[in-house]
Chain A
Amino acid sequence: MDFDAIRMIWVRDLIRHFRDKVRLLGSITRPVLWLLIMGTGLRAAFNVHGISYTHFIFPGIIAMNLIFAAMISTISIIWDREFGFLREILVAPIPRSSIVLGKALSGSTVAFIEGLFVLVFAPFIKIHIPLISLLLLLPLMFLIAFVCTSMGIVIAARMTSFEGFGVISNFVIMPMFFLSGAMFPIDNLPHWISFVIRINPLTYGVDLLRWNTLGIKTFALYIDFMFLAIFSIIMLGIGVFEFSKTN
């Protein structure tokens, strides 16, 4: 592990991120749209597990901001390749695993911060998160951000254009979000849909968040953690392989 290099990649990506003010806007409008408008509109029609719909989707909206921000942050890989900066990184004496880890950490940090914006809305929809839960919620959010970023890295490393990434990420982000239990309970669903939900890493992330914020749970804790850990390790492994290619 090359900590200098990891730090460099991390700091650089954060500097770039916070110089770009427009992106911050997206991460604030997204939860407003979903939580306040969708949540309020559908509240009358749904009543899940005896709690209000707005409350039910709250952890899902956190997960949504995490996955969106994580995937978008990995576009920087395509960006760097197009504008040459990736070569500066690749000819430097850095283990390829440190490049991938640096990218995964910077993307997770950005996504984590954007996930925090959703928490600001908690008082408006009358969700109270005790301090103890909040302390656990933050590392959980970072974990989910990390898993999503590692997946984004694999996609971005294989993409050659921004347009391609847009298409792929829509094919990935939207289905992953909808089929994660973020918007509706995942018990009593048809077989095929239930299968897709079970292989979706975000499902386990949403499960953890909902357990933490509302005390509702579908899977055992160890299943959530194991699935997320194994998934991100596989993704990081593929990512390192992609960055090591010299053909």
Chain B
Amino acid sequence: MSKHFGQVIAVDNISFEVGKGEIFGFLGPNGAGKTTTINILCTLLMPSAGEATVNGFNVVNFPNEVRRSIGIIFQDPSLDERLTAYENLNFHGMIYHLPSKARKARIEEVLNIVGLHSKKDYIVRTFSGGMKRRLEIARGLMHRPHILFLDEPTTGLDPQTRQHIWEYIISLSQKEKITIFLTTHYMDEAEICQRVGIIDHGKIVDLDTPGALKNKYNVSSLNDVFLEATGRDIREEESDEKEQLGQFLRARSKLR
């Protein structure tokens, strides 16, 4: 599969498979093509060439079937901050066609999972970063997806919250047999993955179990594997106009 934006090649002829129930880590420096790949797999973007299949459905031909199969925790927040936690979950359940009764029961369930039950009637804007993340995870689980995409789910969180979130994700994959596809910049977090793929400049440079990769590069940590595989140069991530504006507005609303 490849993806071009005009002249820029964001994803360059990559090919991989993730097994059912697997925890798969997708690692790479900023601008390597991780988010573009996730956006294609969750039907927000079309591949320029090649094809992708999620839960047995081709992302181009059967986008709605793919959308029903997946849950996503985006890199940037995607909650409605003016609604309460409960409303966010309830609306999510509605668009995934959970019947009213099942929806209410499931909301209670996921709120307890992420420990936000006591905050359910609070407006999301009053939440801390960690609480918002937990709410997003709860929302991603509402409709019992087969595959959960986590795009840097712990960025900007304190170690306690990170720890809590990962423990939960591991138990989730064990209990509910959900396939987990995650990206992260914290290499120690990637250790929980059964396999990791390392992407750089749009190409997959390595893909194996964390243990095998450490052996291959003869180093002791995934962090060193990552540096060996992708080099030590600092990357520039292009921030388009839209993103800058979003950041500006977010900053402004915080000042108020």
Q: Do A and B bind each other?
A: yes
Chain A contact residues, CB within 8 Å of chain B = 2, 4-5, 7-8, 11-12, 15-16, 19, 81-85, 87-95, 160-162, 246-247
In the bound complex, what is the Cα–Cα distance between A44 and B139 (angstroms)?
A: 61
Residue of B whose beta carbon sits closest to that of A90: B44
Q: Which residues of B contact A90 (CB under 8 A)?
A: 44
Tell whether A85 pairs with B45 under 8 Å between CB atoms, given A4-B95, A91-B70, A92-B95: no
Pairwise interchain contact B246-A82, C-beta atoms closer than 8 A: yes
Residue of B77, B87, B245 near A84 (CB, 8 A) is: B77
Residue of B68, B72, B241 near A93 (CB, 8 A) is: B68
Pairwise interchain contact B241-A246, C-beta atoms closer than 8 A: no
State whether the Cβ of B183 lies closer than 8 Å to any Cβ in chain A: no
Pairwise interchain contact A84-B74, C-beta atoms closer than 8 A: yes
Pairwise interchain contact B68-A8, C-beta atoms closer than 8 A: no
Tell whether A89 pairs with B81 under 8 Å between CB atoms, given A15-B87, A83-B246, A246-B43: no
Q: Which residues of A contact B246 (CB under 8 A)?
A: 82-83
- Say how far A179's CB is from chain B's closest CB, in angstroms: 32
Q: Which residues of A contact B82 (CB under 8 A)?
A: 16, 19
Q: Which residues of B contact A93 (CB under 8 A)?
A: 64-65, 67-68, 95-97
Q: How many residues of B contact A (CB 8 A)?
A: 34
- Say how far A45's CB is from chain B's closest CB, in angstroms: 45
Residue of B whose beta carbon sits closest to that of A12: B91
- Say how far B192's CB is from chain A's closest CB, in angstroms: 25
In the bound complex, what is the Cα–Cα distance between A8 and B97 (angstroms)?
A: 11
Q: Which residues of A contact B79 (CB under 8 A)?
A: 84-85, 88
Q: Which residues of B contact A89 (CB under 8 A)?
A: 95
Residue of A7, A82, A161 near B94 (CB, 8 A) is: A7
State whether the Cβ of B92 lies closer than 8 Å to any Cβ in chain A: yes
Pairwise interchain contact B76-A8, C-beta atoms closer than 8 A: no
State whether the Cβ of B52 lies closer than 8 Å to any Cβ in chain A: no
Pairwise interchain contact B44-A87, C-beta atoms closer than 8 A: yes
- Say how far A39's CB is from chain B's closest CB, in angstroms: 36
- Say how far A194's CB is from chain B's closest CB, in angstroms: 40
Chain B contact residues, CB within 8 Å of chain A = 42-46, 64-65, 67-68, 70, 72, 74, 76-83, 87, 91-92, 94-97, 139, 241-242, 245-246, 249-250
- Say how far B5's CB is from chain A's closest CB, in angstroms: 8
In the bound complex, what is the Cα–Cα distance between A246 and B60 (angstroms)?
A: 10
Pairwise interchain contact B42-A91, C-beta atoms closer than 8 A: yes
- Say how far B254's CB is from chain A's closest CB, in angstroms: 13
Residue of A5, A88, A161 near B78 (CB, 8 A) is: A88
24 pairs of residues in contact across A and B, judged by CB atoms under 8 Å = A4-B94, A4-B95, A7-B94, A8-B94, A12-B83, A12-B91, A16-B82, A82-B249, A83-B246, A84-B78, A85-B80, A87-B74, A88-B80, A88-B92, A90-B44, A91-B44, A92-B67, A92-B92, A93-B95, A93-B96, A161-B242, A161-B245, A246-B46, A247-B46
In the bound complex, what is the Cα–Cα distance between A2 and B97 (angstroms)?
A: 9
Pairwise interchain contact B96-A246, C-beta atoms closer than 8 A: no
- Say how far A100's CB is from chain B's closest CB, in angstroms: 14
Q: Which residues of B contact A82 (CB under 8 A)?
A: 242, 245-246, 249
- Say how far B193's CB is from chain A's closest CB, in angstroms: 23
Pairwise interchain contact B72-A91, C-beta atoms closer than 8 A: yes
In the bound complex, what is the Cα–Cα distance between A93 and B65 (angstroms)?
A: 7
Q: Which residues of A contact B96 (CB under 8 A)?
A: 92-93
Residue of B whose beta carbon sits closest to that of A19: B82
- Say how far A81's CB is from chain B's closest CB, in angstroms: 8
In the bound complex, what is the Cα–Cα distance between A4 and B103 (angstroms)?
A: 13
In the bound complex, what is the Cα–Cα distance between A189 and B114 (angstroms)?
A: 66
Residue of B whose beta carbon sits closest to that of A84: B78
In the bound complex, what is the Cα–Cα distance between A12 and B92 (angstroms)?
A: 11
Closest 8 CB pairs of A and B: A84-B78, A93-B67, A8-B94, A246-B46, A92-B95, A93-B64, A93-B68, A82-B246
Pairwise interchain contact A91-B43, C-beta atoms closer than 8 A: yes
- Say how far A16's CB is from chain B's closest CB, in angstroms: 5
Q: Which residues of A contact B80 (CB under 8 A)?
A: 12, 16, 85, 88
Pairwise interchain contact B45-A8, C-beta atoms closer than 8 A: no
Pairwise interchain contact B242-A160, C-beta atoms closer than 8 A: yes
Q: Which residues of B contact A12 (CB under 8 A)?
A: 80, 83, 87, 91
In the bound complex, what is the Cα–Cα distance between A55 and B65 (angstroms)?
A: 56
Pairwise interchain contact B77-A5, C-beta atoms closer than 8 A: no
In the bound complex, what is the Cα–Cα distance between A39 and B256 (angstroms)?
A: 39
In the bound complex, what is the Cα–Cα distance between A42 and B8 (angstroms)?
A: 60
In the bound complex, what is the Cα–Cα distance between A160 and B77 (angstroms)?
A: 18
